[in-house]
Amino acid sequence: MFKDTGHVNAYFPLFIPKSFLSREAQHVEGFAKECAVITHHRLMNDPDGNGVVVDPSARLEEELVVRPTSETIIWNTYKDWIQSYRDLPLLINQWANVVRWEMRTRPFLRTAEFLWQEGHTAHATKEEAELEAALIHEVYARFAEDYMAMPVIKGAKTANERFAGAEETYTIEALMQDGKALQAGTSHFLGQNFAKAFDVKFADNNNQEEYVWATSWGVSTRLVGGLVMTHSDDDGLVIPPRLAPTQVVIVPIPKPTTEILEVAEQIENRLKALGISVRIDRDEQKRPGFKFAQYEMEGVPVRIGIGMRDLANQQVEVARRDTKEKMPVLLEGIDKYIQKLLEDIQLNLFDRAKKFRDDHITEVKNFDEFKSVLEEKGGFIKAHWDGTTETELKIKEETKATIRCIPNEEPESPGKCVYSGEKSSRKVLFAKAY
């Protein structure tokens, strides 16, 4: 689904000259405090014999910054690549690691280095760039919901929460099982900010010079954390079938025998013919109970148990990870049954997560209610907001909750701000977030 959008892959340098960062004022302000900076290019043996030290004579003339994101180096390049409207749109994606020197890291959700894809596009018109940002926003939402079975709310970020250098940031927001929100992917309409900062102009079909319009967007390994925290339970991971590396595992009971393996292999072949990934556990050392627990922990969606008792009845035992249910299934038609079951699990995971999410969107009328819901129930809080950064920051200061997004689907409705009492045209979603 990503490839259908027509973007091409490319790769840009990891090291960015420090001066590039300072070209766009908002951008540098946003990232300045979390950059890894390269100052030297050589090590040497410590004269005092304490291993290796930085060679002070190898100081760089201009320091290099390890990319926190690639806008600057890419726009410095686009400047040379774009001359005319015939060069547009320029649609590029890169897979890369980036570094943001966080004070506090958290596995998967906020790591100092993370892997992501970042798209960077240039367009002739504002409308086209806006459509691009919206398109990717939708692609991210579809991926989250249809593949990860993770329901998301699409919306726009407030000015305060916006990407540094963007005119508009669109986000997909998910809700984790502990009631905290997770920003799962963002798509930015950058206006002409980077075009102006890096002097990227094109000649239109009247030979008039114009600055190009831009977007950028990304999702990262943070999604892995989101996947885990959306579906998993006390027995371990729960991986949606569409993303599970192994969709079905076959466990011989109590251990592999010729007879059992013969049937297992038949099932394996029939499932593979339907494009289902299967693994037969041929280990003879571990007992079935151990294997059951192990595969549950790993989140394998479907387990098939085969013992002599089953074979006598021409059946097997099928267990699904999402509900932990077990049922006997006849060998006849087992392939179609499993195929259908995988689809059911995929849908069930989504429905279950969506129900939880919807049950945790609470509309509040006043600030006392806001605080008590936030403390006692968690999740999203829907409330009127007066639109000012000042109010937003005060709420954050007092409650730790931030505005996760201004939901696309929330209709305009006049009201009064939950904090200031000032006029508000629309409700927004607040939550404590990762």
Q: Residues touching RNA: how many (CB under 7 A)?
A: 46
The correct pick among 46, 55, 178, 235 for binding RNA (CB under 7 A) is: 235
**Closest distance of CB 292 from RNA, Å:** 4
Specify the stretch interacting with RNA by CB under 7 A; choose among 9-17, 138-146, 196-204, 301-309: 301-309
Contact between 380 and RNA by CB under 7 A: the answer reads no
Is position 93 an interface residue for RNA (rule: CB under 7 A)?
A: no
d(CA 195, CA 246): 45
Would you call 388 helix, strand, or coil by DSSP?
coil
Q: Does 72 engage in binding with RNA (CB under 7 A)?
A: no
Among 28, 82, 253, 431, binds RNA (CB under 7 A): 253
CA dist 116 and 94 (Å) reads 8
394: contact with RNA by CB under 7 A: no
Tokens encoding 83: 């001359």
**Residue 406 within binding range of RNA, rule CB under 7 A:** no
The beta-strand segments (E) located in 124-176 are: 153-156, 168-175
Give the count of beta carbons closer than 10 Å to the beta carbon of residue 38.
14
Contact in structure between 89 and 174 (CB atoms under 8 Å): no
- CB of residue 164 vs RNA: minimum separation in angstroms? 7
189 binding RNA? (CB under 7 A): no
Q: Which helix (H) or strand (E) holds 25?
A: helix 25-31
Residue 34 as a binder of RNA (CB under 7 A): the answer is: yes
Between 126 and 287, whose beta carbon lies closer to RNA? Answer: 287
User: Does 110 engage in binding with RNA (CB under 7 A)?
Assistant: yes
Beta strand 248-253 with 213-220 is unpaired
Could you tell me the end-to-end alpha-carbon distance of the chain, in angstroms, rounded to an integer?
Answer: 27
Candidate residues 24, 71, 118, 161; the one interacting with RNA per rule CB under 7 A:
161
> Which residue, 328 or 421, has its beta carbon nearer to RNA?
328
Give yes or no for residue 26 binding RNA (CB under 7 A).
no
Closest distance of CB 121 from RNA, Å: 19
Check residue 100 for interaction with RNA (CB under 7 A).
Answer: yes
Which helix (H) or strand (E) covers residue 279, if one does?
strand 278-280
**Contact window for RNA (CB under 7 A) among 27-35, 56-64, 81-89, 358-366:** 27-35
Check binding of 158 to RNA (CB under 7 A).
Answer: no
287 binds RNA (CB under 7 A): yes
Using the contact rule CB under 7 A, the part of the chain among 36-44, 56-64, 107-115, 365-373 near RNA is 107-115
Among 83, 142, 178, 289, binds RNA (CB under 7 A): 289
193 burial level (CB within 10 Å; 0-12, 13-18, 19+): buried
Task: Kindly indicate which of the ranges 131-139, 142-150, 310-318, 350-358 contains the residues binding RNA, using the contact rule CB under 7 A.
Answer: 310-318
**Residue pair 84/202 in contact by the 8 Å Cβ criterion:** yes
DSSP 73-109: HHHHHHHHH--BGGG--EEEEEEEEEE---SS-BTTT
b/e per residue 350-364 (b: at least 16 CB within 10 A): bebbbebbeebebeb
The answer to whether residues 97 and 70 touch, using CB atoms and an 8 Å cutoff, is no
Residues forming contacts to RNA in the complex (CB under 7 A) are 30, 33-34, 100, 102-104, 109-112, 114, 161, 163-164, 183, 186, 220, 222, 235, 253-255, 286-290, 292-294, 296-297, 305-311, 317, 319, 324, 326, 400, 434
